[in-house]
Amino acid sequence: MMNDVVIIGAGIAGLTASIYLARSGVMPVVICGNNPGGQLMQTDCVENYPGFEAISGAELMMRTLSQAEKLGVKMVYEVVTGVPQSSGNFDVCLASNAKMNARAVLIATGASHRHLGVKGETEFTNKGVSWCATCDGAINKGKPVAVIGGGNTAVMEALFLSNVASKVYLIHRRDTLRADEIMQKRLFEKSNIEGVWNAEVTEIIGDTRVNAIRLNTGKVLDVSAVFVAVGVKPATDFVKDLVELDSNGYIISDETQTSVPGIFAAGDVENGMTKQAVYAAGRGCLAAQQIERYLGIR
């Protein structure tokens, strides 16, 4: 059976695209993969998504998923292994060895945050362990927090949190940061940011929520939250030989169109995208409109 559109990924970008397509009469199939809901499922509290003063990332995604299903969007809980071209169309190959044919494909597989892999990290995810200061910073107003990492993202997270938290510990395993010089200058001008160098977190401690971290130096820091910023990996391995990627593995797109006609990309999987839910949703909307034009509907 030939499908007009197969969307790979059930995060906010993919689901937004499915809603727009379904409302236009194009009924897409969404391949949900191993992580339906995407990174928002790991976000404690979202306070910057229009229409909600505060909502958990998981609830926001479940509402979006439900909205898509009510419009008739089909969800397939499988993993995609490849997207070879076939007679001008595409075969979306699944881990179960099944195939789905499509005239157009939207890649919205997002990116995954690298984890520390230490005791307490999994236990306290959404309970003080976060990968997004913009999402979860406000709930730690007036409290001490820690940021882990030494690149631009870690420094930006620390700078953002310095306007909210009482104190920010920036913990880096080396004695120099990898962040740009201008970012470092701004960081060192902040009186409530303290750099902790040549140190690594070995344990995240808490009861119902995070209340401290232990370092490999033996020191214990009292903090209400830990913001992990040690890197992000886009989920593009399955298309690395199909579409053009940048040096970090992100899909290079022009208004969501990739280097292969008929294959589109939206959200955190794209090169240079702002890593915010509302922006990813907007890219999903744009991708839906571009796909409609490609199919000759709009």
Of 132, 175, 241, 268, the catalytic one is 132
Cα–Cα dist 43/15, whole Å? 17
Cβ neighbors of 203 (< 8 A, separation 6 or more) are 118, 119, 120, 213, 214
Cα–Cα dist 13/20, whole Å? 11
Which pair of tokens denotes residue 75? Answer: 């969800």
Of 135, 207, 222, 241, the catalytic one is 135
Cα–Cα dist 228/27, whole Å? 38
Amino acid at 261: P
| Residue among 40, 206, 199, 41 at smallest CA distance from 120 | 206
Cβ neighbors of 122 (< 8 A, separation 6 or more) are none
Residue 4, helix vs strand vs coil: strand
Angle at 27 between CA 245 and CA 81, to 5 degrees: 35
Which pair of tokens denotes residue 117? Answer: 């892999």
Of 32, 44, 136, 268, the catalytic one is 136
Task: State yes or no: is 132 an active-site residue.
Answer: yes
Cα–Cα dist 17/3, whole Å? 15
| Residue among 152, 139, 131, 291 at smallest CA distance from 224 | 139
Task: State yes or no: is 136 an active-site residue.
Answer: yes
Task: State yes or no: is 175 an active-site residue.
Answer: no
Catalytic residues: 132, 135-136
